[in-house]
Amino acid sequence: MTDNSEVKASMLARGQAALASQPFSALIGTRLSKWSAEEVELELEISDKVRQQHGFVHGGVVAYMADNALTFAGAAKLAGTAIVTGEMKINYIRPAVGEKLIARASAISGGSTQSVARCEVYCVIDGVEKLCAAAQGTINKLPERGEK
């Protein structure tokens, strides 16, 4: 019998492989640090390549972090690996600055073809986390090949 820590480690390894296969995620250096049925955590070191003209992390990058975290959280509730975001809403709370972004998400509902998740994105400034965005999204399971 496999214990829970082995299941979590296996799930995290699968998630890290999925993230590594996303060219944009690899380009900017996103890391999946936690993935279980209960929680997801993505991290991104802030560098000049993700900042906009005022020195803040570009809003699209903040939304990308929320979107990917929501998708991993939703996937934990859905059987299968072929999933996509059906919709997402994000509220930007403060400009994202500092050393790192952390997106934490969890599913709040899950069915056979759809789940709903929420996410908070934090920027880390001098070691202190500050909430910079909150998001919610619907994650959809893609039909199996041959299904309509």
Determine the pLDDT at residue 143. Answer: 83
Nearest to 122 by CA among 48, 66, 71: 66
List of domains in the chain: 4-141 (3.10.129.10)
1 has pLDDT over 50: no
pLDDT in tens, 3-19: 677 767 788 888 899 88
Determine the pLDDT at residue 36. Answer: 87
Map residue 66 onto helix, strand or coil. Answer: helix
pTM for this structure?
0.90
pLDDT in tens, 46-89: 999 999 999 999 999 999 999 999 999 999 888 666 899 999 99
pLDDT in tens, 92-114: 999 999 999 999 999 999 888 99
Nearest to 30 by CA among 19, 38, 39, 14: 19
Determine the pLDDT at residue 6. Answer: 76
Q: What secondary structure letter does DSSP report for 58? A: P
Q: How far is CA 51 from the centre of its chain?
A: 19
2 has pLDDT over 70: no
